Amino acid sequence: RRIGDAAAELLQAIVHQRYKHRRSIVVTSNRVVQDWGCYLGDATMATTILDRLMHRATMLEFEGRSYRLKEAAARIAVTADAS
């Protein structure tokens, strides 16, 4: 699945402006970097965006189970125990 062309261009414009003016930007994604070209529908645009995002970036990568899934499982367990 990919985002629309207008959304991809808007993302590129925002990232470019934030980079140009040395402003912060926080990006979260569950997509690996290698998939951004497919997701944005344009490998060149993805490279441009990632280049600017990663140039002065601090990257944090989290592994493990999702907290939302963990909380949902806990709620289900409580409901099952109450029955």
pTM: 0.71
Residue 83 confidence (pLDDT): 66
Task: Please check whether residue 1 lies inside any domain of the structure.
Answer: no
Question: Rounded to an integer, what distance in angstroms lies between the CA atom of residue 51 and that of residue 54?
Answer: 5
Residue 17 domain-assigned? yes
Rounded Cα distance between 50 and 33, Å, is 8
pLDDT at 32: 87
Residue 70 belongs to a domain: yes
Task: Give the tens place of pLDDT for each residue, 53-70.
Answer: 999 999 888 888 778 888
Question: For residue range 27-54, what is the model confidence (pLDDT) as tens digits?
Answer: 988 888 899 999 999 999 999 999 999 9
Residue 19 lies in a domain: yes
Full domain range(s) for residue 50: 6-82
CATH code of the domain containing 71: 3.40.50.300
Amino acid identity, position 19 = Y
Note the pLDDT of residue 37: 92
d(CA 42, CA 8): 9
The domain total for the chain is: 1
Q: Return the pLDDT at 74.
A: 87
